[in-house]
Structure 1
Amino acid sequence: MITDDKQTNEHLRSYINYYTGLKNPRYAVLVKGEWGVGKTHLIKNILKDDQKFYVSLFGLTTIQEVHSAVFVKMYPNRSRLKKILNWFGSSSMKANDVTLALGPLVGNIANALIKEKVDNSKTIVFDDLERCSINLEDLFGAINKYVEHHGCKVIVIAHDDKLNDELTDKKEKIFGQVIKVTPDIEGAFNQFISKSKAPIAFEAIKDIIYKSFLASECKSLRILDYMINDCARLLSCIPDKLYNNKRLLSEIFVLFTALNINYRLGKLKAKEIESRNSVLYYVKKDTNADDIYDEIKENYKNHEVPLRLESDLLSNEVLIDTIVNGLYDKDKITKS
């Protein structure tokens, strides 16, 4: 999803290479960063498939499922699974009895097997830490067992801000190194533009939408990708005669991207987009309350990007259709 960002995240690459070269580090590494900054992509790029066991914790509900997921990644071959089960004295058990879809294995012998039969020749990468429903203290305990008891190298990918404050001490005992991922916005932007359906057409608005994204203070490369795709769809609906009108293009796409990004971030809802240019909205607004539009305007002002939230170049109906519903009606947009 992002470029091979060697310069921006060289600290991550360098440390992962150092860590995986250790014989028995006896600690795990936490790779953190905001949602969508490209943490998973970077780790997968640094560690090739033959160097890691990648395990997503998304949707897992028990520690048993975690052990099962790790075991299946380590021993994916069913014939090999059968040999291991037989080695544990369960000749009647078949590899087909193993629930490969992350569920627990049948039988007490199998339950013991998946916890103790561990391959530490590769690094275990646990992803989506904050997206599983397991008690974090229990989960840290399971991770620590792979590190301390089995001598595994373990990398955990997470949105660190989501971790409970009360688990800070426990976290620090497990993770000997915490590394923050920095998004390579410029590199990702250029890559997304080049792979878009109309990279040449983007020349008219490329600088506009890049500056708008920076002004939004959004760090998510995922949202950047979505925004560029949405801009490509809107651009295809814009009359050709507007392509040379830099002022109008800027007003249209700065407005569109500002609302688009903040809607995707969950800061704006449809009703707030509809009320952006409503006098009644500002009359009723509590003067002491924090307002998302105040925040947006302040961000764009600080980045010296002109933003007219009250602009009527795109109607509220068009903005709701495009940003909320994904509908790009060329006739309606042209008439807007």
Structure 2
Amino acid sequence: MGGMDTADRVRKIPNKGKLEWNNIYAGDSLEGMRLLEDASIDLVMTSPPYADMKSYAGGFQTFHPDNYVEWFLPYIGEVARILKPTGSFILNINDKSIDGFRHPFIFELIFAIHNINDYCKIKKIKPVEMHGLKLFERLFWNKGKYLAHPSRFGDKVEYLFWFSKSKDRKFNIDPMRLEYDSKSVKRMERPLLKRFVRDSGEEVTEYKKGGEGSWAPNPEGALPSVLIEEGAMHHVRPIVEELPEGTILITERLDSENIELVQPKIGDSPHPSTIVTIGSETRRIAGNHVAVYPERLASYFIQGATDVDDIVLDPFMGTGTTAVVAKALGRKYIGFDQVEEYVKTAMERVENGPYVKDLQDVKAPSPSLSDWTTLKEES
């Protein structure tokens, strides 16, 4: 394909045949995923269209929250089918306020996945098989930004739901660890209690003896939190710890060269938020797609849920963040999007590599498995 322009390489989902790894296809991912073999994908990470009832590029119309779950369930059924027993499904999604109240469709979705037969009977819809898919963990991504509303809390977070089909899911906890803060390290130097829960559910309490004991910093860092403060992890903590109490940070990217400090004055009242935090780094793709999660967020879960050479799928690829990061980390990728312009942008981004410097510096080994997926041949 030497000399061929990226735009000329945009492929549409075939009716049958073979798909290539390391490619992004234009078309409905429901049709694309149906071509893939059972238990063939290691990680599905995606952010589906919002339930905002808007028309997007390519004429795609999203659904009212009342109808969102019925639309989305067939996609989740295909995700569950193609996911390996050791695989994971990371779903980034946000809820919606309707007529001044939070619509509960996200909780309806979780209920439906866990009670699919009853849900389909109640809704009188075609049964969808979930293949044992269950919710492993729910996390919260602090975006650090929100649209102000005069009569609501500042909504800085989005949900991150981690699903899997078995307890054998890959879970590489060390790449997901956080840096210990200085207060935690000081506490470890004192003979304090250590409380934790074993995998069996047993609650354990231990004392340190004579200043020496089993409670010591893990060399790889602290356990990951259910609150994902993207961009406010390792490189931010030293800055934050040196700030005077009550300092407000005003910045998109927290680092020593790009930060504005504002000391609060008497009578100042910050806008209330759904979560109290320092802030986070976000990145937006210029041009035709604004609903983009950051490369660091994709990296966090790709490293945590897969190994080198594993296969990562994004059924709503958008402008390609999942694919860009998967390639940088030595994983195979495959994805779908209904908007050809997004697919072109995504393939260009994959060729150009990540924006984030530490991802650019990763010396990821090249994938060694076959470049072809195994597909179900249609009779």
User: TM tier, shorter chain?
Assistant: under 0.3
Tell me which structure has the larger Cα radius of gyration: 1
TM-score, scaled to structure 2: 0.23
Greater fraction helix: 1
Higher strand share: 2
